[in-house]
Amino acid sequence: MPVKKYNPITPALRTRVTNSYKEITTNVPEKTLVEKLSHSGGRNHAGKMTMRQIGGGNKGQYRIIDFKRNKDGIPATVKTIEYDPNRSAFIALVSYADGEKRYIIAPNGLKVGDSIISGEGATPEIGNTMLLKDVPLGVQVCCIEMQPGKGAAIARSAGTYATLSGKEGKYASLKMPSGEVRRILLTCRVTIGVVSNPDHSLQVMGKAGANRWKGRRPRVRPVVMNPVDHPMGGGEGRASGGHPRSRKGFPAKGAKTRDKSKSSNRLIISRRKTTNK
């Protein structure tokens, strides 16, 4: 997926890099598959700001995505590839043979007119959804369920995928790009392929206003605050502020946050590679 650069006719455009959106076929969503999307502005039910740096932004609608892909044995045809403002990946509008329409996360390489299918009889082709027990070893998969029937939870963002590295007993071993190897039940569903829009990470906003469009307000660095406002504030001159930590004093970089007694720890064969000891 190519990116688009701009002639530097303004300071912002000098560094701005955006998606070319050449894969997008329409900018009008399916009316029956969208619903109202409200914004809190970071306020709670009493109107008090409980989350900073949130507010403004363009109006949007939520696209209802089929993460379960449980319409088995019925072929579907890809009608459009669309941009979704609520996620980094592109989505595809598919029309099933019985007339029902659904949005799915579009794998990279899926095109308008392609046919996809879910369930036991599916073949390991891009866009098809299968049970892990039927997927050949070495295949790249995305939109992975963690619990059978609950819907895709892993590898849903742009360019992500996992590789099926083995099967043993009732579990399959999946290797993530991070290096983590994890066991998933063979009865969980996965989609064949890599999630679309792999060049999403190459985009550069270019100006603060581009983030305001997304509803992100300016962020003040903790080291320039006063001691009363943040543990890293205060000091004479350009003080470093001490060890990175949150506003409440919790370590912000390098501290392990995963519960040692978490039940799913037994499903992780090897942790992702990290420099933290």
- Residues 6+ positions from 202 with CB-CB distance below 8 Å: 3, 17
Q: What CATH number does the domain containing 194 carry?
A: 2.40.50.140
pLDDT in tens, 170-207: 999 999 988 899 999 999 999 999 999 999 999 999 99
Would you call 223 exposed, middle or buried from its count of C-beta atoms within 10 A (0-12, 13-18, 19+)?
middle
Looking at residues 65-89, what average pLDDT do you find? 97
Cα–Cα distance measured from residue 128 to residue 100, given in angstroms and rounded to the nearest whole number? 17
pLDDT in tens, 150-173: 999 999 999 999 999 999 999 999
Assigned token pair, 64? 């209802």
Cα–Cα distance measured from residue 154 to residue 175, given in angstroms and rounded to the nearest whole number? 12
DSSP string, 68-80: S---TT--EEEEE
234 lies in some domain:
no
Looking at residues 104-117, what average pLDDT do you find? 97
207 lies in some domain:
no
Domains in the chain: how many in total?
A: 1
Cα–Cα distance measured from residue 91 to residue 191, given in angstroms and rounded to the nearest whole number? 13
242 lies in some domain:
no
Residue 90 has what pLDDT?
98
pLDDT in tens, 23-47: 999 999 999 999 999 999 999 999 9
95 lies in some domain:
yes
Q: What share of the chain is helix, strand, coil (3-state, %, to 5)?
A: 10, 30, 60
User: Largest Cα–Cα distance in the chain?
Assistant: 70
Range of the domain at 119: 3-200
Report CA Rg, the chain.
Answer: 22
Partners of 49 in the β-ladder: 43
48 lies in some domain:
yes
Best CA proximity match to 122, nearest among 109, 139, 108, 105: 139
270 lies in some domain:
no
Residue 1 has what pLDDT?
59
Instruction: Provide the residue type at 188 as one letter.
Output: C
Residue 277 has what pLDDT?
45
272 lies in some domain:
no
72 lies in some domain:
yes
